[in-house]
Structure 1
Amino acid sequence: MPNNDRLLVQILLLGLLGACLWVLAPFVSALFWAAVLAFASWPLMRLLTRALKGRENLAAAILTAGWMILVAVPLVLLGFNVADHIRDGMQLIKEVQVDGLPPPPDWLDNVPLVGDRLVQWWNRVDEQGTAYFVTLRPYVGEVGNWLLARSARVGGGMLELALSLVLVFFFYRDGPRMADFVLRLLERLIGERADHYQRLVAGTIQRVVNGVIGTAAAQALLAMIGFAIAGIPGALVLGLLTFVLSLIPVGPPLVWIPATAWLLWHGSYGMGIFLGVWGVFVISGVDNVLKPYLISRGGNLPLVVVLLGVFGGILAFGFMGLFLGPTLLAVAFSLISDWIAPRAHQALPAGEEKDAPPL
């Protein structure tokens, strides 16, 4: 009978845990990003709390307000920038419909193998522009529906971001108590190795955060240098947008590709080609080198495991996989290492020596 009572209690506890997870499921993404933001800036929280003589609530409120300003200002600038580009694009379409295309640039005819065909296509579009627009009109509705769906997803992402910026306050305020709760839970599950795995997960997330933010800062700096050399107006604002968009996969091309197209449209072909090459090999290329290096630096994971964790995690879980992938592989790698360590390092009986491997 006692065994049946214990089994019933376990079933009830599992049901309660499942119900709690069901309630929190819509907020998993916001909770995840709030935890990542709090963890990444926890040294600032400690310094600010010490400067404010232990007033944790005030320190948490100041850092939360700082995150809101840091995130909200670039997003507002991005919104105005996108609105300007949409307005310019609509004006360009109207001008092309009325006046036609400008004369083809001189360099277009010099493109190897396909230069003549590109010039002929340019002239044909110029002569039959109205007919082309009539042909493309049925697809405009589909593009509009696609943009509407993407806008809805972006709007949902903005709501999650706003919620995470609110939740980060509670992670700042209750962070030590949460960490102690997680440590006690791990001690009940895995015993004395709980502290090791908590430090392993914390170190892996810290390295991933440093890699993501460090790479974003490097890409923003390189983007500002490229925009300044090419003579793009608002290089500082575009650099800040590059920093924000560097936090998502394939984000920086959303900044330097329109800037390159703007240069080419205004006849700055040399600077346009320079900025395109700079964007592909420098701004976007540094992501493939610097991020894996920063994530693997200071850890025991092999670089190939880090790369698989980063890219595989993104493919499996989306942007959250950037943090989940390396963390899962780090924990699995450590668990397997701990499991095989006693067998691999088992002491040999006295008087015996391990045979040398065959040549």
Structure 2
Amino acid sequence: MLNNDRLLVQILLLGLLGASLWVLAPFWGALFWAAVLAFASWPVMRFMTHLLRGREALAAAILTFCWFVLVAVPLGFLGFNLADHVREAVTLVKSLQLTGLPPAPDWLASIPLAGDWMIRAWNTVDEQGAQLFATLQPYLGQIGNWLLGRSARIGSNVLELGLSLILLFFFYRDGPRLAAFAESLLERLIDERAEHYRDLIAGTVQRVVNGVIGTAVAQAVLAYIGFLIAGIPGALLLGVLTFGFSLIMVPPLIWGPAVAWLAWQGSVGMAIFLGAWGVLIISGVDNILKPYLISRGGNLPLVVVLLGVFGGILAFGFMGLFLGPTLLAVAYNLLTDWVAGKPVAGPPAPSVIVPGDSALTTPTPTEKQI
């Protein structure tokens, strides 16, 4: 009877756990990003807490406000204004359909080899503009709808980011207690190997964070150098913006408009240089430096890191940049421990013998004979 009662309690506990996970399902993304941001900036949190003489809540509030200013405000501006820019682009296309193209710029003819051909193509499009735009109109509508959908998705992601920053305050404030709970949970699950896998997960996430931030710094410096060489005004500000957009893996949103501005100003050579610099150097360094920084200092083979980074991004989106390497790191270590004969979990805890409880006591040999 007692065993049946225990089984019923276990079933009820599993059902309660499943229901709790179901309730939290809409917030998994926000919880994940709050945890990653708190883990990445925890040294700053400790420094702020020491500076404020142990006032954890005040330090958490200050750091959360800084994250709002540095991340949420620029992304919110980008997300909620993209739809307006798409509508402006659609309006511009419609006006060009009615009035035709403006006169070709003078610098277009100075392009070596292709200058004359581009001038003739410009004039041909201007003369046959109505027919051309009528042909392209269905495709332009599809592109506009796709961009509007992207902008709506960016807006929803910005709202999720805002929620994650609110949750970040509680991760900062209750960080030590949450870490102690996670460690006790690991010890309950895998006993003596808990410390090993705790350090493995923490080290993997830390290396991913270092790889993301280090790559963003490298791309910002390279972009700043390219802007200086090309003579772009405000090169330092654009370099800082490149750092911010590199964190979300879209640095072309900074150097791409700079290339278009150079071409419009007639600096065709510098536009070609900056475009090649952006594609080969600024964006190309991401494919080399980030996997190297993530694998540096760990015991994972580089191929596992590469599969974790790129496969995680394909499977989970930007969140997979952290999930992919962490999952593969844990799976790789579990397999190597199993092959080497190391225990994945410690030995089971000894049974507790309670006098008078027949379900918990082990019968003695004499009792068996009777």
Specify the TM-score bucket, using the shorter chain as the normaliser: 0.7 to 0.9
Name the counterpart of 1:100. 102
Q: How does 1:62-141 map to 2 (within 5 A)?
A: 62-75=62-75, 78=78, 93=93, 94=95, 97-102=99-104, 105-106=108-109, 108=111, 110-111=113-114, 118=118, 120-141=120-141
Letter of the structure 1 residue corresponding to residue 338 of structure 2 = W
User: Residue 204 of structure 1 contacts residue 330 of structure 1 at CA under 8 Å; is this kept in 2?
Assistant: yes
Name the counterpart of 2:299. 300
CA–CA distance in structure 1, aligned partners of residues 49 and 43 of structure 2: 10
* 2:54 partner SS: coil
Shift of 1:196: 1.1
Q: How does 1:94-243 map to 2 (within 5 A)?
A: 94=95, 97-102=99-104, 105-106=108-109, 108=111, 110-111=113-114, 118=118, 120-243=120-243
CA–CA distance in structure 1, aligned partners of residues 101 and 285 of structure 2: 42
User: Residue 45 of structure 2 contacts residue 172 of structure 2 at CA under 8 Å; is this kept in 1?
Assistant: yes
* 1:239 partner SS: helix
Shift of 1:240: 3.0
Q: Which runs of 5+ in 1 are unaligned?
A: 344-359
Shift of 1:237: 3.5
CA–CA distance in structure 2, aligned partners of residues 41 and 307 of structure 1: 25
CA–CA distance in structure 2, aligned partners of residues 218 and 253 of structure 1: 14
Please tell me whether residue 266 in structure 1 is matched to residue 269 in structure 2. no
Please tell me whether residue 330 in structure 1 is matched to residue 332 in structure 2. no
* Aligned-residue identity in percent: 70
Name the counterpart of 1:357. none
Distance 1:79 1:192, change over 3 A: closer
Shift of 1:233: 3.1
Letter of the structure 1 residue corresponding to residue 228 of structure 2 = A
Q: TM-score, normalised by structure 2?
A: 0.84
User: Residue 108 of structure 1 contacts residue 119 of structure 1 at CA under 8 Å; is this kept in 2?
Assistant: no
The range that moved more, 7-16 or 138-147, is 138-147
**1:292-338 deviations in whole A, cap 9, x for unaligned?**
11111111111111111100111111111100111011111111222
* 2:341 partner SS: helix
CA–CA distance in structure 2, aligned partners of residues 145 and 342 of structure 1: 57
Name the counterpart of 2:310. 311
Q: Which runs of 5+ in 2 are unaligned?
A: 343-370
CA–CA distance in structure 1, aligned partners of residues 80 and 113 of structure 2: 38
Please tell me whether residue 257 in structure 1 is matched to residue 259 in structure 2. no
Structure index of larger Rg: 2
Distance 1:318 1:80, change over 3 A: closer
CA–CA distance in structure 2, aligned partners of residues 316 and 76 of structure 1: 25
User: Residue 100 of structure 1 contacts residue 129 of structure 1 at CA under 8 Å; is this kept in 2?
Assistant: no
How many residue pairs were aligned? 339
